[in-house]
Amino acid sequence: MSFLRFLSIPLLILAATAGPVFWALPEGLGLARSLGIVVGWAGCGLLLASLLLMLREPRLARGLGGLERMYRWHHWTGMAAYVLLLAHPLLLAGDAWPNNRQLAWQTLSPFDQGWPVWLGWLSLLLLMVGLAVTFERRIPYRTWRWLHIGLGLAVLLGLLHLVLLGIDEPVWPILGLATVFLGWRIVREDFGLAAQPYIVQSANTVAKGMVEISLKPLSEAVSVTPGQFVLVAFFAGPTFRGCGEFHPFTVSAVGASGEIQVGVKALGDCTQKIQSIEPGVMARVHGAFGNFLADRPSSPQLWVAGGIGITPFLAQIRAGLLKQQTLLLYLYRAEADAAFMDEIKAIAGRDPNLSLRAVATGNDVPDLTLLLPDAAALTQHDCYLCGPPGMVAGLRKALSLKGITPRHIHFENFEFR
């Protein structure tokens, strides 16, 4: 990643935070009250940055170092904003505490106040409940997604709290930007306005609970390279009814005239339904995102795929002969889960730079250190990992023990939650 891209998100957050804080920097007030004002504005700026970082626009994602990085920062800024906004009313009340504790409580308590303070409290409580929901993984993704987007309402209420306090000069532009970011996300991305129409050409079951779907563009094709993923929503076909919500799928093949293939593993209600998809189903495709296999160095490489994690590597070897000496270590539970095995073997047979090692690991967690090549054999290697988060974490640890530095370990551990 270039230095500029590396700095892009921190600089963006700094600008969003420092701007309003500088504008509102208090003078001559008590320390606690001044701090209360500063943390309130800093929290406001962080929330605005967090809203920008939830947008799924390929160009924006490229400029900011990838969608996965944006989402990581989205989580951090959201959490930091929450903590600062919790401190905001406490510090304002704390200013009066040394001299008059009743006044301190009156400042904090919503019971003696009007709409400006009630909206502040409502916003804080919505943030509290919204974040509690965010951390709850048992909620179905569809419900979770809308509840999470509902956090945006907390941001808007918090900004209205400022407007009603009579502080509208810097708030209107912030409120305008927050509304644009939320509207952009909901209309262009959740409702699919930014996505391109595609049609399902074929669907083949390639392993137990896994189907490969071929999609043909009906208008402009999305620009995609091997290693990237797209967001796809499947709608209706002759007999199939899709769930119509966008899910990320890694591309397993990129055709010359814009067709793409995606691998879909049954991991939830929606992806389970997709297993029975049929030709003729309408879809919308948004993307592409990610730079997992982009700009690979000329050094020898180790690719490790776990289950469905084979798809980015498959897209790369389907695209042509490899330029780097590459060992593909393909891990799967049982033979029935080994998707694309015959095809990968055939490609490895004709690509002199590709060697394949396929291992059925069984249902127990395998000893990854034993599965990986010896430290001596990994010297000068760049390692690319794709699979379940637990497996990737284990592989990173095992590779570190074998002397591979983090700079030479590449992975995209993408999760939308």
Partner 1 sequence: MRRFYISTTLLFWLLVTAFWAGSLWLPPAEQSQAVAAEKTYSKADLAKHATPDNCWMAIRGSVYDFSAYLPEHPSRPDLIEPWCGKEATEAYNTKTKGRPHTPYADELLAKFKIGKLAADKPK
Positions in the binding site for partner 1 (CB under 8 A): 26-29, 75, 79, 82-83, 86, 90, 92-93, 96-109, 112-117, 128, 131-132, 135, 164-169
- Complex with partner 1: residue 3 or 135, whichever CB lies closer: 135
Q: Where are the beta strands (DSSP E) in 208-333?
A: 210-217, 229-234, 247-254, 260-265, 282-289, 301-306, 326-332
- Complex with partner 1: residue 88 or 408, whichever CB lies closer: 88
Q: Running DSSP on this structure, what letter comes out for residue 374?
A: P
CB of 152 to partner 1, least distance (A): 18
- Complex with partner 1: residue 101 or 345, whichever CB lies closer: 101
CB of 23 to partner 1, least distance (A): 12
CB of 367 to partner 1, least distance (A): 29
All residues at 6 or more sequence positions from 77 whose CB lies less than 8 Å from its CB, including other chains: 13, 46, 47, 49, 50, 53
Helix (H, G, I), strand (E, B) or coil at 152: helix
| Helices and strands, counts by H and E, the chain | 14, 11
Structure token digits, residue 123: 């916003």
- Complex with partner 1: residue 75 or 208, whichever CB lies closer: 75
- Complex with partner 1: residue 119 or 404, whichever CB lies closer: 119
CB of 103 to partner 1, least distance (A): 5
CB of 28 to partner 1, least distance (A): 6
Please list the alpha-helical segments (H only) found in 53-114.
Answer: 58-63, 67-94, 101-108
Structure token digits, residue 294: 């982009």
CB of 17 to partner 1, least distance (A): 19
- Complex with partner 1: residue 159 or 338, whichever CB lies closer: 159
Please say whether the beta carbons of 359 and 307 come within 8 A.
no
Please list the alpha-helical segments (H only) found in 25-66.
Answer: 31-52, 58-63
342 phi and psi angles, rounded to 5 deg: -60, -40
